[in-house]
Amino acid sequence: MPPGARRVVMHSALGTMFSAVLSATLLGESRCPECGRVTAAPGPCVHCRASAQTFAPDEPCPGCGEFPPVPRAQAILCGTCRMKPRPWGRVVVAGRYAGELRAMLLAYKFNHRLDLGRRLAGAAVAAYARAADACPELACVEGLAPVPLHRRRLFWRGYNQSREICRLIAAGLAAEPGGRKPAVWSGALARVRSTTPQMLLAREARAENIKGAFRADARLVRGRRVLLVDDIMTTGATLEECALALLAAGAARVDVLALARA
């Protein structure tokens, strides 16, 4: 490219950058924290708010996260959870593992689409806020603990999707009216045994496959209220093992936040 043409391109790029900075700082432009669209006021745009709401149009069981066959507006324990309670206090899920939410999670988890994290975290925060209104104890969590990957799988994938989403959820909770930013305890749980990926196993084999695979750091969680975060909850076997490890290390209470329930 001739020197003169390069100068024109550079001046054009600088002009575009200057205009963006000027509009954002002097003209008070607001952008959606989830997708980046220009908005009339601070906070998520109407598209992302609508998307977050459609992920969970009805309330799942607060014990296992299963959605009922008939939609209901109030979270009620299912018969299975009444007879056999899970080791955590409450489960919150953003929606069913289907449709747009499923497509976003697959792209986020396996195609390095980390740019989708803000929308996913926004849906999780919206579901958590609704659940906390009905269960005030949820609002008292002190820290978020992501489900860890074994070091070999972490090296292969390059990132832990649950850890990345935890950071965005913590920021989203802080942005809620009257909200505060909980800590993100990335080291609260460690995977001490490599296992076959749960998605490759039949439902009945998952609990045995994951048994004893996690250890919790008592220095971080003893006496504290922990919100255990994962992307997809299927049978709940992985989350149960994590919750049991946290409770064995002295956690005062464990709740679960999952982006989707399969």
Q: What is the 3-state secondary structure (H, E, C) of the chain?
A: CCHHHHHHHHHHHHHHHHHHHHHHHCCCCEECCCCCCEECCCCCCHHHHHHHHHHCCCCCCCCCCCCCCCCCCCCCCCHHHHHCCCCCCCEEECCECCHHHHHHHHHHHHCCCHHHHHHHHHHHHHHHHHHHHHCHHHHHCCEEEECCCCHHHHHHHCCCHHHHHHHHHHHHHHHCCCCCCCEECCCCEEECCCCCCHHHCCHHHHHHHHCCCEEECHHHHCCCEEEEEEEEECCCHHHHHHHHHHHHCCCCEEEEEEEEEC
Q: How many CB atoms lie within 10 A of CB 159?
A: 12
Strand partners, 93: 258
- Mention every residue, 6+ apart, whose C-beta is less than 8 A from residue 14: none
Q: For the chain, which residues make up each domain, given as ranges?
A: 57-261
- Cα–Cα distances in Å, from 145 out to 20, 30, 162? 37, 31, 9
> Where does 57-261 sit in CATH, by number?
3.40.50
pLDDT digits (tens, 9 = 90+) for 140-187: 999 999 999 888 877 778 889 999 999 999 999 998 877 888 999 999
pTM above 0.75, yes or no: yes
Report the alpha-carbon distance of residue 94 to residue 142 in Å, rounded: 20
pLDDT in tens, the chain (262 residues): 454 444 433 344 444 344 444 444 445 566 666 666 777 776 666 666 655 555 655 789 999 999 988 777 788 999 999 999 999 999 999 999 999 999 999 999 989 899 999 999 999 999 999 999 989 899 899 999 999 988 887 777 888 999 999 999 999 999 887 788 899 999 999 999 888 878 878 877 888 889 999 999 999 999 999 999 999 999 999 999 999 999 999 999 999 999 999 9
